[in-house]
Amino acid sequence: MWFDPTDRTCLGNEAAQTMARKIAFLASNAPSAQTARAALVARYGDVPEAEADVIVALGGDGFMLETLHRTQDLPAPVYGMNRGTVGFLMNEYSETDLLDRLAEAQEEVINPLAMTAQCAHGALHEALAINEVSLLRAGPQAAKLRITIDGNLRLAELVCDGALVATPAGSTAYNYSAHGPILPIGSDVLALTAVAAFRPRRWRGALLPKTAHVRFDVIEPEKRPVMADADSIWVENVLWVEIHSDPDVAHRILFDPGHGLEERLLREQFV
């Protein structure tokens, strides 16, 4: 449980529970999400997210990531309900039993990746990524990347469509589509995965400790331009990108019992 289970003095009925647990309802622009928000606000009330005990996000995974990034400095955890498509980070949608589900929800804590990238014009760009940081070719020719881990050169030249570093939470997203490994939640590991590697032939990447600092240098950036993307925050024409897990930022996500990230990751592997 994400709150003190002994604090149940105000949990006698729905109205009392709502007062005890102030909820902020946020929704994507999708009509189904907006309709759901209106129904939930009418039933449970609504407070500004800065005053909430818990934030309920209504939408898909993209909206969940957006909400986590925007509210990362707030103390309230985020409980998602799926009004989108895949909904890997979301719980099932229901209007009638929300307060009981919030009371029993289990918390997962995720540390994002911190990206620093320098573009061809010399500017530095910083961003956080809950799922992954990816480098992708931005022209007709394959990218050439040099990979350094913790200051040690590990791969002098990777010829590829791109490469990425993924967290355990993001390992079932783009990383999995690129044939990267699914990582258990809570494991102190990051996935370094190649996208369509040409040289070394079929090189798919490596498992790295969570403490690793990864640096990609772009070889021949003018001839073979590369862009960097951190959870849809993208930088064009990068010269180099550095990535590491940021332990100072902790995203708190709530899941229904038995449906947390660990169970979801296992299910993904036995479909």
pLDDT tens, position by position, 64-115: 999 999 999 999 999 999 998 877 889 999 998 999 999 999 998 999 999 9
To the question of whether residue 36 is assigned a binding role by annotation, the answer is: no
For 106-139, what is each residue's pLDDT tens digit? Answer: 998 999 999 999 999 999 999 999 999 999 999 9
- For residue 254, give the amino acid letter: L
C-alpha closest to that of 131 among 78, 90, 72, 172? 172
Confidence of residue 16 (pLDDT cuts 50, 70, 90): very low
Q: What is residue 268's predicted lDDT score, i.e. its pLDDT?
A: 72
To the question of whether residue 245 is assigned a binding role by annotation, the answer is: no
- Whether pLDDT at 56 is above 70: yes
Contact 163, 193 (CB under 8 A): yes
Q: What is residue 1's predicted lDDT score, i.e. its pLDDT?
A: 60
Q: Is residue 61 annotated as part of the catalytic site, yes or no?
A: yes
Q: What is residue 172's predicted lDDT score, i.e. its pLDDT?
A: 87
Q: Determine how β-strand 113-119 pairs with β-strand 124-129.
A: antiparallel
Q: What is residue 74's predicted lDDT score, i.e. its pLDDT?
A: 95
pTM beyond cutoff 0.85: no
To the question of whether residue 167 is assigned a binding role by annotation, the answer is: no
To the question of whether residue 178 is assigned a binding role by annotation, the answer is: no
- In order of start, what are the domains of the chain with their CATH numbers? 14-110+250-268 (3.40.50.10330), 113-245 (2.60.200.30)
Q: 4, 7, 46, 61: which is the annotated catalytic residue?
A: 61
